[in-house]
Amino acid sequence: MKFKSDAVLSAKSLRYFLQLIDNMSYTQASQILGITQPALTQQIKKIERAVGAPLFGQIGKKLYLTDAGIKMQETAKELFNTVNNAVDQIQKDTNSETGNISIGVLSSIEYQVIEDFIIEFNDLFPEITISLNMLTRNEILERLENNHIDLAIMHLPDESIKNWKPYKVKQIYMDEVLYLTHDDVPKNKKSISLEDANKNPWVSYPVEFYVPQILTQVFKDNRVDLPESNALFTSPYQLIRFAEKTNSDTAITESFYRAHKDQIDLTALHFDPRVRFDMSFIYRREKENIPRINNFFEHWDKFLAKESYSSRLEHVETI
Least confident of 8-12, 67-71, 271-275, 314-318: 8-12
Q: What is the CATH number of the domain that holds 293?
A: 3.40.190.290
Which residue range is the domain that position 64 belongs to? 5-89
Of 89, 111, 139, the residue that ends a domain is: 89
Q: Within a 10 A sphere around the Cβ of 87, how many other Cβ atoms?
A: 16
Neighbouring CB atoms inside 10 A of 137's CB total: 23
Q: Are residues 237 and 185 in the same domain?
A: yes
Same domain? 105 vs 56: no
Asked if pLDDT for residue 6 goes beyond 70, the answer is no
Residues 286 and 156 in one domain: yes
Alpha carbon distance 283, 300 (integer Å): 15
Name the pTM for this structure.
0.69
- Cis check: omega of the bond before 54, within 30 degrees of 0: no
66 pLDDT higher than 70: yes
Whether residue 76 has pLDDT greater than 60? yes
Largest separation between any pair of C-alpha atoms in the chain? 76
Tell me the pLDDT band of 10, cut-offs 50, 70 and 90. Answer: low
CB 238 within 8 A of CB 231: no
pLDDT on residue 2:
43
Q: How many independent structural domains does the chain possess?
A: 2
From 90-94, 113-117, 137-141, 309-313, the region with the lowest mean pLDDT = 90-94
